[in-house]
Amino acid sequence: MHNDKVRPVYFFLTEDFSLLALTSSMTALRTANKILQRDFYSLQLVSENGGMIVSDCGVPVQTQAVDGGKIDDWNPALIALVVGSRSDMNANRKALAWARRALVKGSELAGIGQGALWLAEMGLLQGKRCAVHWERLPAATERFPDVTMCRAYHNSEGSIHTCAGQAASFDLFLQIISSDFDQSLAEQVSEAVLHCGPRGSLDQQPFSRERGLRRIASPLVPIVMYMEQNISEPLCLTEISKLAGLSRRQIERVFVKHLGETPMRHFCRLRMERAASLLINTALPIMEIAIAVGFTSHSHFARLYKNLYGCTPAETRAMAVAEGRPIGKNRPISVQLAA
């Protein structure tokens, strides 16, 4: 990056975009400009057709159409996709073709929140890591088997950046500032806005369950994390015994004392929670979901699921559809480059 040049940054917005993600990102760049005492980062808001775009908080933001977002110097430009969770890729073909063309010509792309999954849908993340919000992680892992979905706050590989969204967007843009200049400037930006300090791509988003486990019994943390990472495999108590440095009997006692159930029962609960997430957030067939959480028998899976939730997997999906969740609406699309 030649930091004597102006760097255009285009924030592409769709309806219901995360206002926190947008303002976090823009604040990082504007604060850098203030410290540098010049407008190195030139910020523009764009959308498919321009006009007012309403955020997830109900705040409208004025944008220009991507046609008007003429990029004079493609090489230093950055396009950030700040996408609402219910937005349809097929309704944004023109903008995505524009973004892909920019990438080919030397620009960088950042997918923020749902925008990261749009990059995966476009086939730009094959063989790469993708930072995704922990709520979307199970569904994204099943939906994109050729992409390594991770709990990092953000991840950068070459000219492609992904970010879990929300406040993590600030961390991604601190990383971009550090790459454009140096770590010192990123730290100054962080200090100026009273941020806790840059979180790197190796930092992991904590699950709320993980926080709770640390409060009640820290030996549970590595065991339950192991369970979650091996959800489709049979539970091996010998393996988790080695991992935790406890005997099988000690592990049984810790689980019963602090969680009120055996390790096997808790593992089954985790499997059913993962299944419920996949039923609600993906269009995977129910049998495929059963296999993804470690069951080869549909009837056995359905019986255990109903015992826990009081309804069948099919009924869960039907209720999600009735609530208007966009199950199965995001399909891979072909975004052709303009001639």
Inform me whether the pLDDT recorded for 139 exceeds 60.
yes
The dihedral built from the CA positions of residue 279, 284, 286 and 291, taken in this order, carries a sign that is negative
Determine how many CB atoms are found less than 10 A away from the CB of residue 40. Answer: 20
For the chain, give every domain's residue range: 7-192, 208-322
Q: Which residues contact 217 (CB under 8 A, 6 or more apart)?
A: 254, 257, 258
The tokens describing 183, both together, are: 């770590």
The tokens describing 7, both together, are: 């760097």
Query: Which helix H or strand E contains 11, and what residues bound it?
Result: strand 7-13
pTM comes to 0.74
The secondary structure of residue 182, as a DSSP letter, is -
Residue 47 — φ and ψ, nearest 5°?
Answer: -150, 175
The tokens describing 305, both together, are: 């699921």
Class of domain 7-192: alpha beta
267-322: per-residue pLDDT in tens? 999 999 889 888 887 888 999 999 999 999 999 999 999 988 888 999 989 887 87
Q: Superfamily for 208-322? A: Homeodomain-like (1.10.10.60)
179-192: per-residue pLDDT in tens? 999 999 999 999 99
Q: Which residues contact 89 (CB under 8 A, 6 or more apart)?
A: 96, 118, 121, 330, 331, 333
The secondary structure of residue 205, as a DSSP letter, is P
Residue type at 257?
K
Residue 304 — φ and ψ, nearest 5°?
Answer: -65, -40
Residue type at 160?
I
215-260: per-residue pLDDT in tens? 666 778 888 888 888 898 988 888 888 888 889 888 888 888 888 8
